[in-house]
Chains A and B, each alone.
Chain A
Amino acid sequence: SQQGEEDPQALSIQEGENATMNCSYKTSINNLQWYRQNSGRGLVHLILIRSNEREKHSGRLRVTLDTSKKSSSLLITASRAADTASYFCATDAGDSNYQLIWGAGTKLIIKP
């Protein structure tokens, strides 16, 4: 079953603008991860944020986590055409140390 829900489902912005994607989840988590998928390819891990962290940075990426609202956001600053991809959030499955529960993803298009 899917726990994470990303919004928007699709986002189209101009190169250089910032892109913000959101993820909501339903149950308690230990960590939340964001992945990127280029069209027709496998997923690539971007960043992991633990439940006791509120914000994390990696290059042009900034992830926030609000456990009281059960939500996370991924901000990509100064977007580039190469950032065009689908972005997925995934949470641990709580009682399972092996599984991730995935959202449906946000399709991001950066217009040059």
Chain B
Amino acid sequence: SQTIHQWPATLVQPVGSPLSLECTVEGTSNPNLYWYRQAAGRGLQLLFYSVGIGQISSEVPQNLSASRPQDRQFILSSKKLLLSDSGFYLCAWSEGESSYNEQFFGPGTRLTVL
């Protein structure tokens, strides 16, 4: 069965510090991978998605970047965090060849930038 791991669960970082959040998927090959951000009490904002190794699409211009160094690994990064980067970050995957695009989510990372 497929599983998705995301860590850390919570993170408190000072403004201006770097960020690296990692997401890995097991039990599937060539998944579509996604990074979302969710503000408190709000819906999901798609940040990046990837349909293959090294292929990253950015949805929102921002202080963040994403990389996919391996088929089932997706990394969200920032060189210098801003206060506005605080939020709940969710990684998700979907079947690469599925036309229905059901997405499976990791447990999320709560990021607080102080």
Which chain A residues have a beta carbon within 8 Å of chain B's beta carbons?
Answer: 2, 30-31, 33, 40-45, 48, 88, 90, 92, 97-100, 102-105, 107
Whether B43 contacts A98 by the Cβ 8 Å rule is no
Whether B110 contacts A2 by the Cβ 8 Å rule is no
- Partner-contacting stretch, out of B11-19, B61-69, B79-87, B101-109: B101-109
Whether A102 contacts B100 by the Cβ 8 Å rule is no
Whether A42 contacts B107 by the Cβ 8 Å rule is yes
Indicate the size class of the contact surface on chain B. Answer: 20 to 34
Whether A88 contacts B107 by the Cβ 8 Å rule is no
Report the Cα distance A42→B103, complex, angstroms. Answer: 11
Q: Does B44 contact A (CB under 8 A)?
A: yes
Known pairs A42-B105, A44-B105, A48-B102; A98 contacts B44 (CB<8 A): no
B17-48 vs A, CB cutoff 8 Å, 1 = contact: the mask equals 00000000000000010000000011110100
